[in-house]
Amino acid sequence: MRNFAIALGAALVLGAGAVSAGEYQITVDRVQIDTGDFTRTGVGFNGASPGPVLRFREGEDVTIRVTNNLSESTSIHWHGLILPFQQDGVPGISYPGIPTGETFTYRFPIVQSGTYWFHSHTGFQEPDGAYGAIVIEPKEPEPYAWDREYVVQLADAHPHSGNRIMRNLKMMPDYYNRKQRTLFDFLGDAEDKGFGAALSDRKAWGDMRMMPTDIEDLQGFTPLINGKGPAQNWTGLFSPGERVRLRFINSSAMTYFDIRIPGLEMTVVQADGNEVQPVVVDEFRIAVAETFDVIVEPKDDRAYTIFAESMGRTAYGR
C-alpha cells in the first residue's frame, strides 16, 4: 500500500476514535492543539481536536450524553441534521446550553444519510477546536461503489483564541490583513496601466472602503487536515486500483478552500449530504460548513497529495 497524503483542515480520520451507532458519550474538554507551526490551548471533544467520528444509520434513534468539563457553559450543534428543535443545540434559542460540570442527553431520530459534522455553538469554542465529523449510512444502497473511505475534515487554526481575534477585529477590521498594498504597489500599477487608470482603480476601492487583498477576515492561520498541519502530513492508505471515497468537511471559522489532488480526477457524488448527479472535476471550492463527497481511483503505486489552498492564497493544507 502507498500513502495518500491529504491537504488541509482540522478534522479527524475515519477509524481514529470512531464509535458504533446507538449510544455515545462525549466530553467537552480543554485540549492542546499542535499544528506543527504553533501549539496552544483550545477546546475539544473526548480529549482531542477534532473529536470522534460519529457513525449513525438512517432510521435509528440515537442517544448522546454530553458532559461539560470546561469552566464555562458549552453546547453541541448537529450541523445539517433534521431533528426536533429542542435537540438542535443552539444556546438561548433551542435550549439553555450545558452548564459547567453537568451532562445533557441528546435524543433524536436519524432521518437522513450522508456526511455532516458537529460543533460547539457557544462563544468561540468551535474555531478554538470543538468540532467533529458525522457519517450516516443510508437504508438503501447508494448508486456508486467504493473500496475504502476517509473523512477529510478541514479547519483554520490560528495562534490567537477566537475571543482575542474578535476583540482585535472590532478595534481594527484589517488587523490581520498582512498583504496590504503600498505606495510602491501603486507606482507599479501606474507604470503598467498608466497613472490615470491606476488612480481610478485605487479610488474605486477607496470608495468601497475595501482593499483588493481583503479576501479573508484574517491571515496568519494554519490550515489543518484531520487536526494536522501541512508539515505533520496526515496520511491515508490505499492500494492501486481501489476506489477511495473522501468525505470533505470544511469546519473552518472563515476560510474557503480550493481542493485538488494533482494527478487525480475527483468524481463528486454528494454535496451537503445529498446525492448529486456525479460530476468529474479537477478542483472544487468548499465554503465554510459545506461537505462534499468525492470518489477517486488512484491507479499508480505512489503517493498523492490532497492540496487545500485558501481562497485568499495566504495558506494551504496538504
DSSP assigned state of 279: E
Rounded to whole angstroms, the Cα distance separating 70 from 25 reads 16
- Confidence (pLDDT) at 21: 53
Task: Tell me the C-alpha to C-alpha distance, in Å, between residue 121 and each of 94, 126, 199, 236.
Answer: 11, 7, 45, 30
Q: Please give the mean pLDDT across all residues of the chain.
A: 92
- Confidence (pLDDT) at 133: 98
Cβ neighbours around 250 below 10 Å, total: 26
Rounded to whole angstroms, the Cα distance separating 127 from 294 reads 25
27 CB-near residues (< 8 Å, 6+ apart): 45, 46, 47, 66, 67, 68, 69
Map grid coordinates 487554526 to a residue: 157
- Confidence (pLDDT) at 210: 80
Task: Tell me the C-alpha to C-alpha distance, in Å, between residue 171 and each of 67, 102, 163, 164, 174.
Answer: 35, 36, 13, 11, 9
Local structure of 73: helix, strand or coil: coil
Q: Going along 144-301, which residue ranges are E strands?
A: 148-157, 222-225, 235-238, 244-250, 257-260, 266-271, 274-281, 283-286, 291-296
Highest CATH level, class, for 23-141: mainly beta
Answer whether the bond into residue 230 is a cis peptide, omega within 30°.
no
* Pairing state between β 103-109 and 61-68: antiparallel
The dihedral formed by the CA atoms of 56, 62, 63 and 65, expressed in degrees to the nearest 10: 30
- Confidence (pLDDT) at 60: 95
The list of the chain residues with pLDDT below 50 reads 1-20
- Confidence (pLDDT) at 5: 41
DSSP assigned state of 141: P
Highest CATH level, class, for 222-317: mainly beta
310 CB-near residues (< 8 Å, 6+ apart): 156, 216, 223, 255, 256, 257, 258, 316
Same CATH topology for 23-141 and 222-317: the answer is: yes
The single-letter code of the amino acid at 118 is: F
Global confidence as pTM? 0.90
For a pLDDT cut of 70, what percent of the chain falls above it? 93
Nearest CA-CA partner of 293 in 308, 306, 310, 275: 275
Task: Tell me the C-alpha to C-alpha distance, in Å, between residue 30 and each of 27, 47, 211, 225.
Answer: 10, 7, 37, 20
Alpha carbon 174 to its chain's center = 23
Give the three cell numbers for residue 123.
462563544
- Confidence (pLDDT) at 4: 44
Each domain of the chain, given as residue ranges in start order, spans 23-141, 162-207, 222-317
The single-letter code of the amino acid at 102 is: E
